[in-house]
């Protein structure tokens, strides 16, 4: 047996053992897959990381396809480093130097991205088992509600936090509704959903020909560590490669931007309109399949990521994902807001409720 194959088998065995162990734990939580179905529209979700595993929908010719990048097995999701489909938290995105000051106290976080904290730390919300509170598989509005209690000091963050995520289907729409309540102590909260989309099908190649429109006339310039500069705030997209105010192929100007030291988008946009209100954020279209995705949300910002770091990555059904094999549209707060008083605050105080809603509307 080749060494690489032996390593892959060993990782799968470790992951399988972890599934068995956590399923038999005192909390009684088991990792499972939950399917929501509405006619020919279906979504699969696992309570490992509150992860979207698949979305199936016809194309313009009636051919069903899954157009979410991902893995075949739970064991592979546990070992995944590409961040296929989970909820990120307690604070998604990067926190500079893994530190912040809140109410006069300095907090030090788990550092897992160079000198910084990324996606909540090495064991963020994507690497835990969520409790399934409610599950309705069919009917007019199938849904699943997942719950996680983040404990005081987890990855360095202060205070207990109750977090709920509900995935709900209606005809050709997927709603994602997240809320979090701080218990006892103030804490920063910024959740996001990190699904990779390829409207042609998860193994259909790159997404450079997808047309994209963003309802965002400003973006936040980032430095080489993907962090904003203090006091600089947001800049207009007009005249830059970040301009998607009119429908534009994703690949049209992609070589003109660098997302994390490689060509591609990993950029935060300021969504036009009033934060807190549901409003249009983005629309993507794959001309070949006819599938389109329209995103609505209530957060102040959105991260566009074009799978810059995929590199011969093994995916579902024997597919292999390369750079630009998908794109992510992640509504969120501003990056590193906890260290930038010029940005809208992400601090949630005891008794307050953080609310984050988004709706993906599909057509074909």
Q: In what order do the strands lie in the sheet with 235-236?
A: 235-236, 218-220, 266-270, 301-305, 328-332
Q: What is the number of alpha carbons within 13 Å of residue 36 lying toward its C-beta? A: 27
d(CA 183, CA 170): 33
Q: Is 340 annotated as a binding residue?
A: no
Judge whether 196 is annotated as a binding position.
Answer: yes
Which one of the listed residues 38, 154, 194, 210 is annotated catalytic? Answer: 194
SS3 91: strand
- H or E segment at 23? helix 3-23
215 is catalytic: no
Q: Is 195 annotated as a binding residue?
A: yes
Structure tokens at 244: 């998607």
Contacts of 263 (CB under 8 A, 6+ apart): 254, 255, 257, 308
What does each C-alpha distance from 128 to 150, 216, 359 come to in angstroms?
10, 33, 24
- Annotated binding residue 59: no
Please state, in angstroms and as integers, the Cα–Cα distance from residue 190 to each residue in 178, 217, 288, 301, 332, following that order: 10, 22, 35, 11, 6
Instruction: Please tell me which residue in 202, 330, 340, 356 is annotated as part of the active site.
Output: 330
Residue found under tokens 């074009």: 306
C-alpha span between 163 and 353 (Å, rounded):
10
Q: What is the spatial distance between Cα 228 and Cα 335, in angstroms, rounded to a whole number? A: 7
Q: Is 16 helix (H, G, I), strand (E, B) or coil?
A: helix
**Does the active-site annotation cover 194?**
yes
User: Where in the sequence numbering do the catalytic residues fall?
Assistant: 194, 330
- For the annotated binding site for beta-D-galactose, the residues are 194-196, 266
């Amino acid at each position: 047996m080749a060494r690489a194959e032996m390593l892959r088998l060993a990782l799968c065995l470790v992951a399988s053992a972890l599934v068995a162990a956590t399923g038999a734990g005192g909390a009684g939580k088991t990792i499972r897959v939950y399917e929501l179905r509405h006619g020919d529209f279906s979504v699969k979700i696992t309570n490992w990381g509150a992860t979207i595993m698949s979305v199936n929908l016809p194309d313009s010719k009636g051919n069903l396809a899954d157009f979410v990048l991902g893995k075949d097995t739970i064991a592979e999701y546990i070992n995944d480093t590409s961040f296929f489909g989970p909820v990120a938290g307690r604070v998604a995105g990067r926190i500079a130097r893994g530190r912040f000051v809140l109410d006069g106290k300095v907090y030090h976080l788990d550092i897992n991205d160079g000198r910084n904290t990324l996606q909540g730390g090495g064991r963020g919300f994507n690497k835990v088992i969520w409790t399934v509170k409610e599950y309705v598989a069919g009917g007019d509005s199938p849904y699943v509600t997942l719950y996680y209690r983040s404990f005081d000091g987890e990855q360095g963050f202060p205070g207990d936090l109750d977090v709920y995520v509900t995935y709900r289907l209606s005809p050709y729409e997927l709603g994602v509704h997240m809320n979090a309540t701080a218990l006892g102590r103030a804490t920063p909260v910024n959740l996001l959903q990190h699904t990779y989309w390829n409207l042609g099908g998860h193994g259909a190649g790159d997404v450079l020909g997808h047309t994209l429109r963003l309802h965002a006339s400003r973006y936040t310039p980032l430095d080489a560590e993907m962090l904003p500069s203090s006091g600089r705030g947001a800049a207009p997209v007009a005249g830059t490669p970040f301009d998607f105010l009119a429908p534009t192929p994703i690949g049209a100007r992609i070589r003109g931007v660098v997302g994390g030291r490689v060509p591609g988008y990993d950029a935060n946009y300021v969504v036009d309109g009033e934060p807190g209100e549901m409003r249009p954020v983005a629309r993507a279209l794959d001309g070949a399949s006819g599938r389109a995705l329209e995103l609505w949300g209530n957060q102040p910002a959105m991260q566009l990521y074009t799978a810059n770091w995929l590199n011969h990555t093994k995916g579902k059904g024997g597919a292999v994902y390369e750079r630009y094999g998908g794109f992510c549209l992640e509504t969120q707060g501003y990056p590193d807001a906890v260290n930038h008083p010029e940005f809208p605050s992400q601090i949630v105080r005891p008794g307050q409720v953080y609310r984050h809603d988004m709706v993906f509307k599909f057509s074909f």
